[in-house]
Amino acid sequence: MDRIDAMRLFTRVVEQRSFTRAAQDMNLPRSTVTDAIKQLEARLQVRLLQRTTRHVSPTLDGEAYYQRCLIILADIEDAEMAFAGAKPRGLLRIDVHGTLARHFLLPVLPDFLAQYPDIEFYMSEGDRLVDPVREGIDCVVRVGKLKDSDMAARRLGGLEEVTCAAPEYLRRFGTPLSIDQLQGHHMVGFRSSATGAVMPLEFSVNGQPQQVTLPSTVSVSAAESLVAAARMGLGIIQVPRYHLLDDLVSGKLVPLLPQCPSTPMPVSLLYPRNRQLSPRVRVFIDWFSKAFAARNQ
């Protein structure tokens, strides 16, 4: 195994914190990975990894070497791409919420793959806070306010939200025409995946944000279930408009309080701050920023 391949293998062991998972990622026998790391440490005459029966972590020297490897590997990929008009290639790993992906990413993904046919695209779906370095994710698309983290973020735009309810619900409880008239109403609760708490409805009243929490007999943790519960007349909901385009046109859901719109939900693309971006990641970030803006008009 040459030095460059050894560097690639070492970075995956560090990121996965496991020889076994790194071997699976690289499609190699575990014994090959173990031997390659031993040879690398012998050549450098330094211990790079701390090993226990359950965990692998870099030593201080290993962490320093890992950071240098990331720069060197990215520079090699840049250099190779610069010749003969070569386009980015290799595996691109993205994590994005499934509903967002199905509306904003997947419909235009063929265009991206046509421009970059040598990129292999892998998308995982979720709304949990992933560890992109350890899990080998190149970038993450998330909706909502960002917490402080060691990830760099690029703001893609904002999602217009709409407050609505089913006609059957409004026949039973009446149609609120102001924030004050929400008293006596119910909402379908949406529980935060981060805190487990039911998130309040948010409105803008005379330019000032105002939060309202209504009683909720039913609460859910998925956007699809939230919309389905609203269609059944179980309460008022507030979600990005793109979730509801067909329901609003068909009349299955009725928009409420348009004079008090909530602040658009921010959409951001995050990636490791301390990792030099590969060409395939850079072209994806630039492409998806434009694609999202075009579909979010």
Bridge partners of 202, per DSSP, are 211
Q: Which domains does the chain have, with CATH numbers?
A: 3-81 (1.10.10.10), 90-159+266-295 (3.40.190.10), 164-248 (3.40.190.10)
Neighbours of 70 (CB within 10 A): 20
Provide the pLDDT for residue 127: 62
Q: Which runs of consecutive H residues, i.e. helices, occur in 17-59?
A: 19-26, 30-44
Provide the pLDDT for residue 82: 65
Provide the pLDDT for residue 156: 93
Q: Are 89 and 119 in contact (CB under 8 A)?
A: yes
Provide the pLDDT for residue 135: 67
- Name the pairing type of β-strands 139-143 and 90-96: parallel
What is the value of pTM for the model shown? Answer: 0.70
CA–CA separation, 204 and 166 (whole Å): 22
Q: Token match 């793959």: residue?
A: 113
Could you list the pLDDT tens digit for every one of the 297 residues in the chain?
A: 789 999 989 998 988 888 988 888 888 999 999 999 999 999 999 999 998 777 898 999 998 898 888 878 877 877 776 665 667 887 888 999 878 899 999 999 999 999 999 898 989 886 666 666 666 688 889 888 877 667 788 999 999 999 999 999 999 999 999 999 999 999 999 988 777 889 999 999 888 889 999 999 999 988 889 999 999 999 999 999 998 999 999 999 999 999 999 889 999 998 877 666 778 888 999 999 999 999 887
Provide the pLDDT for residue 67: 82
